């Protein structure tokens, strides 16, 4: 089963905010480090960050984790949103919209135009299915990685 498009998880770490940031940066390569050895690729700005699991090749349907960290009562609370890139969702919505619109308004003849439009819609369905299939398990990997690295526990 593929990962959901959007899920939210809150983690609590006994470590300080500064220590959590240091640990995450030590496990993360920048977004353009194509040959890095660290398990995560991502961006960090202040207490916000976004990460992807390092994979061989490219998958636009990878699970992306966006997170914000806040320090309360000596603990670090990490609010995580896991989802597919919004650009991919927008692109696929436009893809399906254009071809569905064309299919609906296509003239009855020639039949080849309808067949081509239907083939493009089926190709889009196959592309989404394959991308989500290849990204299976990434949501759990990212959550488990954060829990292990930051000694965190999920609260939701």
Please state, for a pLDDT cut of 70, what percent of the chain lies above it. Answer: 96
Note whether 113 and 36 are same-domain residues: no
Convert the pLDDT of each residue in 68-119 to its tens digit: 999 998 899 999 999 998 899 999 999 999 988 888 887 777 777 888 888 9
Question: What integer pLDDT is reported at residue 5 of this predicted model?
Answer: 57
Are both 79 and 98 inside the same structural domain?
no
Q: Is residue 74 part of a domain?
A: yes
Dig out the tokens for 31 from the structure: 């977004």
Q: How many domains does the chain have?
A: 2
- Rounded Cα distance between 49 and 44, Å, is 4
Q: Do 150 and 94 have their domain in common?
A: no
Pair (62, 120) in one structural domain = no
- The verdict on 17 and 32 lying in the same domain is yes
Q: Is residue 1 part of a domain?
A: no
pTM, 2 dp: 0.83
Same domain? 110 vs 57: no
Structural domain boundaries enclosing 50: 6-84+136-154
Rounded-to-integer distance, Cα 64 and Cα 42, Å: 9
Q: How far apart are CA 68 and CA 76, in angstroms?
A: 10
pLDDT of residue 3: 45
In a domain, 105, yes or no: yes
Provide the CATH number for the domain around residue 11.
Answer: 3.30.310.80
Q: How far apart are CA 135 and CA 40, in angstroms?
A: 14
């Amino acid at each position: 089963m593929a990962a959901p498009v959007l899920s939210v998880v809150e983690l609590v770490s006994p470590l300080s905010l500064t220590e959590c940031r240091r640990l995450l940066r030590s496990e993360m390569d920048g977004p353009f480090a194509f040959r890095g050895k660290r398990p995560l690729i991502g961006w960090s700005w202040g207490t916000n960050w976004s990460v992807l699991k390092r994979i061989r090749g490219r998958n636009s349907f990878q699970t992306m984790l966006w997170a914000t960290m806040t320090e309360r009562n000596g603990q670090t609370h990490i609010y995580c949103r896991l989802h597919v890139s919004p650009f991919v969702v927008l692109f696929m919505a436009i893809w399906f919209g254009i071809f569905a619109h064309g299919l609906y308004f296509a003239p009855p003849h020639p039949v080849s135009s309808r067949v081509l439009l239907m083939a493009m819609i089926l190709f889009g369905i196959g592309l989404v299915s394959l991308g989500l299939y290849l990204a299976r398990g990434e949501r759990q990997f990212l959550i488990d990685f954060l829990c292990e690295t930051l000694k965190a526990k999920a609260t939701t």
